[in-house]
A and B are shown apart, each in its own frame.
Chain A
């Protein structure tokens, strides 16, 4: 098993780590849907085991991909907007992802926070020919 390669990238320069900043990719009622991103194959399907999350680079973005117990896939930005925590190390259930550092929760549905620290970006993720593909 080789760990997915992660190059040491600069932190994304787009805002997204501060409270109240724009969260592209968050569907907001009453606004136009975000434009579909470019598809990036980030890993093999088996690289994200059930119940866990793993971090990958997708283009300029760093993403965390999760496979829930029910087999469904989700992807978010990799860094917690609160204090930069590694979201891939978080805990999950069917509705939320909980950051390991300070236990702030984020809803899969739209990335919104359960604890008032600003949303995470959520990305569409799917399986294509044995690969995990994230649209950024």
Chain B
């Protein structure tokens, strides 16, 4: 994304200009002309469905899209706004895809009018396109409620006011998060909640204004809405219910919102997510029948026999849908009709069900949220303290509605009952809770073929079974073929269950999933065995001997380098091309191509002389930022590559390895020298651990900490290896802790009675991890994977009798250690090792505070 003020006009899913598909001369092309107006999720999906039915041979397809981009997944704009997903990862069909399939994409061109008599559409750029069949898939636009001051005189929105429906709006919002501090989000439906959560994640103060008495009133009843409100407020978002905004304040830029009750909410960013309205202008102008949406029959046909409408712009039997699943159904039915695959195919309406994660809370809703008739059964389990609210509505022994908030474990069974109208257990409570011995009853077998498994990409159980029947033998292959599970990912366990059921349990694990690196088709144990057996001492030798066709793979080199260093120590043959740039220049590359320099500071203990040297070096080399790291060292940021060797020379300190997949740092607390509470000399033990394990390469970075008492001042409970003094000379050793994107308290491996025993035990664990973990697998994944009990048996009790081997192997690596700064600083490893790869594209300067 661009920095502040940068106008991003990158085309999402675009292709180089000048790439054109060669159109066959019109006169020679006898195919009927299918024109689709709208390149969103409905329009592009229709094209896919038509092509899948062989429609490419029947039709010359032209797609008009209002936006310049390829087709992208609008459902995933929230994670893009939250910074969890890159915009490139939400592209469903790139410009290339259209070209490859012979479809003409007119991206960034709006259709203004349809001449239904002449069967021609006229576009904003003055061009026209004749059609035999026309499909309107124009979607919806953000509805901006009438408020004084929300628009400028020219009709545009006041600067600082945004809808939240397109990638361009999302980009603008992302850019605004770097400038703005206070946001008001209008609308407490799904989209408003997601926007609020995302903005709050960027550090903004967020007020959520909702006109109704409870949140998500379209899907939830009042009680569930109240529980959701508590969960949202617990995130730090202020919620205003029953609140209507009457006026938007600010002349040049939004400054606040005035509520009808007289309250004023200051803000410098206003997001309006109060619902959408179908885009019907072009249909209205062209004389088609329009009520709330474009009126269609059961074959999605408008009142003109050659014009169809699908997706959110269509009104079918009085209903307009604002969800993606009905759009998929429209596309399937219409593709059947158009291609003649099933000329009698009909659409009879959708039962709306949705699974989502809103503001960090799992929500699944289907059908009615409250009873509608006197005879309806209504069962509610409400646990406000836990943020859980579950309810079902039953009519005539059929499930007609369910709401799951905060606990969606029963969603699979309920979805089936809802979709199929199947018989329900006599004890209704079984619908909501498992009264069994905790075994989940999934009942994938009973799911109807057309029930949605993946709502993000509209993949049914039938489509997944079809992929299995076509020979997709693994979950990954099915996901690649159908896109199931490639959206928000919340359905992946269900996808796996369906695949296993469809394949009668005959599911191959994705072979590639078990490879140590993608380019060499071997799991780690087999790879190590082959390397030892064939005495392969360099990365190029490994490729030559073990890769298919001897082909090298750039993305596999770093992992192989790490493994070979672990196996051979000093006997490893170093090759520059096999190293990541960080390892080539012993520094961590930054976003602008500069590097960071972190000198070793064992246990976080330093001296005035060291600090003075660091300060002198920072001044001499004009280091833009000097920062204390989380790992108790000092970071010199923004260093030019060509300055690295001279800086190391002037520092005269060893590398702190803040760039490698290696042991990095050991944090310590004040221990027993000065602390009033210290039970053990944690500071010295930390220094000793760091001295022993410095720079040892490993599958992923290793961070350690030692604390002198359970007050845990250096966070030892959440480190890869954490050591805690518990008194009487005893130390607890924890492994597999994490305090990153997930927080995991380490598991207690053992309690030992001397610093020497801590060092020995930590060494055995580290070596076992080095030999058995997958590339980039942190200890917090490795420990649960192999199991704590297993680790205790192998590492603590030496039940396999490999303790001495582990010790010896680790010792070999320790003996092979040399400080890379001292080494390459004096003599470059290759000509131009520290030559600049800058200047490149000037990035927004990182401000120096």
Contacts and interface: CB of A to CB of B under 8 A. Distances in A.
B505 interface: no
* Most chain A CB within a 10 A radius of its CB, from B540, B577, B834, B841: B841
A52 interface: yes
B554 to A, nearest CB: 4
Interface residues of B, number: 52
* Most chain B CB within a 10 A radius of its CB, from A20, A64, A97: A20
Nearest to A56: B835
* Most chain A CB within a 10 A radius of its CB, from B16, B577, B642, B839: B16
A3 B13 contact: no
Given A30-B22, A83-B591, A119-B16, A62 B577 contact: no
A19 B11 contact: yes
A79 B577 CA distance: 19
Interface of A is mostly: loop
A53 B584 CA distance: 12
Given A20-B17, A116-B91, A87 B577 contact: no
A57 to B, nearest CB: 9
Interface in B567-622: 575-578, 580-582, 584, 589, 591-593
B840 A84 contact: yes
A135 interface: no
A96 B554 contact: yes
Contacts of B557: 91, 93
Interface in B805-849: 828, 830-832, 834-843
Given A19-B10, A91-B554, A93-B553, A117 B840 contact: no
A6 B838 contact: yes
Contact of A11 (B540, B835, B842): B842
Interface in A75-96: 78-79, 83-96
Contact of A28 (B9, B18, B552): B18
B95 interface: yes
A3 B552 contact: no
Contacts of A115: 88
Contacts, number: 155
A117 B95 CA distance: 12
Contact of A100 (B580, B830, B842): B580
B488 to A, nearest CB: 20
Contact of A89 (B10, B91, B552, B593): B593
B830 A69 contact: no
A58 interface: no
A18 B7 CA distance: 12
Contacts of A95: 551
A3 B832 contact: yes
A67 to B, nearest CB: 9
B475 to A, nearest CB: 23
Given A55-B835, A91-B580, A103-B555, 5 more contacts: A54-B837, A55-B836, A93-B551, A98-B554, A116-B91
Across the A-B interface, the 6 shortest Cβ-Cβ residue pairs: A20-B14, A51-B577, A86-B837, A84-B841, A20-B11, A88-B837
Interface of B: 9-20, 22, 88, 91, 94-95, 540, 551-555, 557-558, 575-578, 580-582, 584, 589, 591-593, 642, 828, 830-832, 834-843
27 contacts: A1-B831, A6-B836, A6-B838, A6-B839, A8-B839, A9-B839, A18-B9, A18-B10, A19-B11, A22-B17, A47-B832, A50-B577, A52-B576, A55-B840, A78-B837, A79-B840, A84-B840, A85-B593, A85-B840, A89-B584, A89-B593, A90-B581, A91-B555, A91-B557, A91-B558, A93-B551, A97-B554
